[in-house]
Structure 1
Amino acid sequence: MANTYFSFKSFTVHQDKTAMKVCTDACLFGAWTVKHALKPETKQILDIGTGTGLLSLMLAQFTQSTIDAVEIDKNAAIQARENFDASPWKNQLFVHHQSMAEYLQEQNRKFDLIISNPPFFENQLKSSQHNRNLAMHSQEFSLNFLARAMVDLLSDDGIGAVLIPYQRTEEWRELAHREKLSLVHCCYVKQSESHPFFRSMFLLRKLKKEKKNNTTEIKEEICIKVGPDYSEVFKSILKPYYLAF
């Protein structure tokens, strides 16, 4: 049985109401995004599919930006609000219980940073647990929709951050290119040196009309563990958050 909460150095994530629990790759993604995408000039942040609110809380620890967190599942939205209210940054965190399609219809703002750990699976076997389906599958949300939403909502110099399964890397690259999104940084993640890659993390920007896509894409790899211990790279990135480091 999964723990009902996960304690970090500066906040706690309760997860008893949500289908998707705090996981290592999501924690790595949040910390990696803070390291590479959070800027002093970042003022408006959007977290698409916030779940427990984990990524928003990781960002809030290092910024005074306003963070909008969108979540379609009612129980997850309630959980995120509770986690935000219990944190030191409750006044800058806002939960929107609605679909991204509904949120888009209401928005005229642009965001300096958009982060998303989107539903992983499309057109695959569904479980009988509805809220887990919403979190893991894409009947309500697709990578194509995410790419278009980023184009619509990113500011001219804004950064998008996305975590996807490694096997969908080329699909995401093609979608990003089609939607005029420039991939500026990618990181391939594996559990250990003997495991295959299982996650890809991307940073991207809108391709400016007056410029060709001549940005050099940074590429890196991260092993979560080396031998029985966490790798030094993983420890360094997660040190501001994990109690064990």
Structure 2
Amino acid sequence: MSNQFFRFKEFTVYQDKTAMKVCTDACLFGAWVVDNLDMPTLKNILDIGTGTGLLSLMLAQYSKASIDAVEINPLAVEQARSNFKESKWGDQLQVHATSIIEYAQSSEKQFDLIISNPPFFEQQLKSKDSQRNIAMHSANLTLTELARCIVQLLSNSGKAALLLPWNRLEEWRGITEKIGLFIIKETLVKQSTTHDYFRVMIILQKKASPTNNDSIAIKDGKGYSKEFIKLLAPYYLAL
């Protein structure tokens, strides 16, 4: 992978202006969301903290929905807008240069899918890169605030999908129980079959339902696992 861009089968993500680059777990998350939802039926999608626009582009490949992408970082806004414009789905994609809290306060739109790969860490050691700090740390957006925005913007029959660190799953469960969101699917993620879990992919809705639990390893031995290949084959050039 070039540091300047990541080329997929149907689109290219340029990332020279953003602190957070295309990463494997985000790609897995986007493909997993597509695999678990009825994409052709979706009409309005919201991508919270779009960064380069990766997740919006992955979803646009399989949906005719209108996709609104919210991003607080000015350089990431510029990057996402460029990536959207250069894609074949530019007319479906729109970037809003604002925080999700401000967007939720001003928007009356309801979404049948909300996705987010949110800031991962709260009150942990930060790097010297201020742009990376905004992307990785949630001083600007806590999980509780994120959940409240999702409840406000999600339609009654809609779904929300999140990628979180595995060690914050219990915290997220506690937040959602109090706020009116119900987890219907959890997929735990390992780097390889010999590693511990490090991410969790979650689907939620406003109606209580039994939770479907499973897991996936990105690699099995020296190569990608069969499950990973199946999900990423429509996107990765090498698969």
2:231 aligned partner: 237
Aligned amino acid, residue 200 of structure 1: V
TM-score by length of 2: 0.98
8 Å contact from structure 1 (residues 37, 203) kept in 2: no
Aligned amino acid, residue 165 of structure 1: P
Question: What's the secondary structure of 1:40's corresponding residue?
Answer: helix
Question: What's the secondary structure of 2:40's corresponding residue?
Answer: coil
Cα deviations by residue, 1:34-63 (Å, 9 ceiling, x for unpaired): 111243321000000000000000000001
8 Å contact from structure 2 (residues 56, 67) kept in 1: yes
2:51 aligned partner: 51
Distance across 2 between alignment mates of 1:128 and 1:229: 34
Cα deviations by residue, 1:179-205 (Å, 9 ceiling, x for unpaired): 111110110000111100000000000
Deviation at 1:146, TM superposition (A): 1.1
Moved more, 128-137 or 20-29: 128-137
1:219 aligned partner: 213
8 Å contact from structure 1 (residues 38, 113) kept in 2: no
Distance across 2 between alignment mates of 1:244 and 1:128: 34
8 Å contact from structure 2 (residues 39, 62) kept in 1: no
Is 2:145 the counterpart of 1:145? yes
8 Å contact from structure 2 (residues 40, 64) kept in 1: no
Distance across 1 between alignment mates of 2:139 and 2:161: 21
1:109 aligned partner: 109
How do residues 94-105 of structure 1 correspond to structure 2 at under 5 angstroms? 94-105=94-105
Distance across 2 between alignment mates of 1:93 and 1:158: 19
8 Å contact from structure 2 (residues 30, 59) kept in 1: yes
Is 2:33 the counterpart of 1:39? no
1:156 aligned partner: 156
Structure 1 segments unaligned to the other structure (5+ residues): 208-212
Question: What's the secondary structure of 1:108's corresponding residue?
Answer: coil
Deviation at 1:74, TM superposition (A): 0.2
8 Å contact from structure 2 (residues 147, 175) kept in 1: yes
Distance across 1 between alignment mates of 2:116 and 2:61: 17
**Where does structure 1 differ by over 4 angstroms across 4 or more consecutive aligned residues?**
none
Distance across 2 between alignment mates of 1:104 and 1:146: 10
Q: Superposition RMSD on alpha carbons, in Å?
A: 1.1
Question: What's the secondary structure of 1:138's corresponding residue?
Answer: coil
Moved more, 97-106 or 152-161: 97-106
Cα deviations by residue, 1:77-115 (Å, 9 ceiling, x for unpaired): 100000000000000100001111211121001000000
Aligned amino acid, residue 230 of structure 2: S
8 Å contact from structure 1 (residues 37, 113) kept in 2: no
Cα distance, 1:241–1:2 mapped onto 2, change above 3 Å: closer
Structure 2 segments unaligned to the other structure (5+ residues): none
Moved more, 123-132 or 9-18: 123-132
Distance across 2 between alignment mates of 1:202 and 1:20: 21
8 Å contact from structure 2 (residues 114, 160) kept in 1: yes
Count of residue correspondences? 239
Distance across 1 between alignment mates of 2:127 and 2:83: 27
Distance across 2 between alignment mates of 1:13 and 1:38: 25
